């Protein structure tokens, strides 16, 4: 697999993890689950399948210092910096264009920097399997077995079995479904035919270029401009000029929903998008009372306290509380029931609406 590359998309926000996740330090740069940041973990868990020179990072220019500091083993030329945030469609197009220009035989795994994967060896095995399937001309995606009728994820319906590779079964991906309402999510879950869309895709670079050309000729035009300038002095200027030509779209919307020959490999790798304090709680280790302390907490005196998550740098005492999320930072304090963790985004919206941008 000498032509296999990982392209980690390190953009994104994570407003539902406020007040830890901030515009300047979004969740992927925080050590929310493990001792290292989610971004750092997303790099290290690729070893030994990918060597550092086969790992690319796409991130906004504003995060350039952060990603380079957190991933010092990655060669300088593998950091691909977006002039501004334009969602995952343009980010993936940019990364594909650069890698394809440098290695026309590349196969690229488009990966995320802000998702937790408990089974890292299983993840690498799945990537290797996906590489094999991609060589058969498929865009391969990982399907996550749904554990509840979530309305927070997109779904993929499995079609006919396609092939087995390294012990994993690939299926034809019959349909991409947007985040469904609850009743539809329940149907999806009970049918047994659906997986959550993990947002990870493995495809050959030449096929990716062809898919952009077919579905998004406007993107493709800018991709060829950029590709022509890669590793020349004209690159920065060309990128800046081309960047405005990318319409803001997610990769799912821009390409995947109407791509041909998509395969889904159902995987059981302990995946979580860590999209809220509640889903974060679900992946953290807890004590006998179901409690979990994170951050540099000076100590936690938990009296009759259960199923509660606390992030704080100071001594915390809780008495008689259950199912809470408590997050204390230098300038803000959140206390929220786990059940209402989705509503943290309402707080961020309120802060924006009231021009308290330093707290966002």
Nearer to a second copy, 1 or 298 (CB): 298
Residue 24 within binding range of a second copy, rule CB under 8 A: no
For residue 169, the minimal CB distance to a second copy (Å) is 42
Q: Which two tokens stand for residue 173?
A: 């991906």
For residue 324, the minimal CB distance to a second copy (Å) is 7
Alpha carbon distance 201, 204 (integer Å): 10
For residue 303, the minimal CB distance to a second copy (Å) is 6
Residue 339 within binding range of a second copy, rule CB under 8 A: yes
Alpha carbon distance 166, 240 (integer Å): 42
Q: For a second copy, what does the binding mask look like between residues 193 and 232, x meaning CB under 8 A?
A: ----------------------------------------
Q: Which two tokens stand for residue 24?
A: 């300047």
Binding test (CB under 8 A) with a second copy, winner from 117, 254, 293, 351: 351
Alpha carbon distance 176, 178 (integer Å): 7
For residue 356, the minimal CB distance to a second copy (Å) is 8
Angle between helices 88-102 and 205-215 (to 10 degrees): 130
For residue 273, the minimal CB distance to a second copy (Å) is 20
Indicate the burial class of 54 (C-beta count within 10 angstroms; 0-12, 13-18, 19 or more): buried
Alpha carbon distance 105, 202 (integer Å): 14
Binding test (CB under 8 A) with a second copy, winner from 2, 65, 288, 331: 331
Contacts of 202 (CB under 8 A, 6+ apart): 107, 108, 109, 110, 127, 130, 131, 133, 134, 139, 140, 141
Binding test (CB under 8 A) with a second copy, winner from 233, 332, 355, 357: 332
Residue 234 within binding range of a second copy, rule CB under 8 A: no
| Contact yes or no for 42/49 (Cβ under 8 A) | no
Which range in 87-95, 135-143, 258-266, 346-354 contacts a second copy by CB under 8 A?
Answer: 346-354
Interface residues with a second copy (CB under 8 A) are 19, 298-299, 301, 303-304, 312, 314-321, 324, 326, 328, 330-337, 339-340, 343-344, 346-347, 350-351, 356, 359
């Amino acid at each position: 697999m000498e032509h296999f590359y990982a392209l980690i998309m390190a953009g994104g926000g994570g407003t539902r993890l406020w007040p830890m996740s901030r515009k300047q330090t979004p969740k992927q740069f925080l050590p929310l689950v493990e001792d290292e940041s989610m971004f750092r973990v997303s790099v290290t868990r690729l070893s030994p399948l990918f060597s550092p020179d086969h790992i690319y990072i796409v991130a906004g220019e504003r995060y350039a210092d952060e990603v380079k500091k957190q991933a010092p083993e990655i060669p300088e030329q593998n950091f691909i910096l977006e002039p501004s945030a334009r969602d995952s469609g343009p980010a993936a197009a940019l990364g594909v264009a650069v890698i394809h220009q440098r290695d026309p035989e590349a196969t690229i795994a488009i990966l995320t920097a802000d998702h937790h994967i408990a089974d890292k060896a299983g993840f690498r095995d799945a990537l290797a399997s996906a590489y094999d399937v991609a060589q058969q001309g498929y865009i391969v995606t990982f399907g996550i077995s749904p554990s509840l009728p979530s309305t927070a994820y997109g779904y993929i319906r499995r079609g006919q079995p396609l092939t087995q590779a390294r012990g994993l079964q690939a299926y034809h991906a019959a349909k991409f479904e947007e985040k469904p309402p609850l009743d539809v999510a329940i149907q999806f879950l009970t049918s047994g035919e659906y997986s959550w869309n993990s947002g990870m895709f493995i495809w050959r670079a030449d096929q990716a270029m062809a898919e952009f050309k077919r579905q998004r000729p406007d993107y493709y035009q800018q991709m060829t401009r950029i590709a022509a300038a890669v590793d020349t002095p004209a690159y920065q200027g060309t990128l800046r000029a081309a960047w405005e030509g990318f319409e803001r779209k997610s990769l799912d919307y821009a390409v995947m929903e109407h791509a041909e020959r998509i395969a889904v490999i159902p995987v059981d790798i302990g995946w979580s998008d860590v999209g809220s304090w509640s889903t974060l709680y679900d992946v953290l280790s807890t004590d006998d009372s179901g409690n979990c302390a994170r951050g540099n907490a000076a100590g936690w005196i938990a009296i009759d306290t259960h199923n509660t998550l606390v992030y704080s740098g100071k001594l915390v005492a809780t008495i008689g509380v259950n199912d809470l999320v408590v997050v204390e930072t230098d300038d803000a304090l959140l206390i929220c029931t786990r059940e209402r963790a989705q509503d943290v985004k309402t707080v961020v919206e309120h802060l924006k609406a009231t021009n308290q941008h330093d707290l966002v």
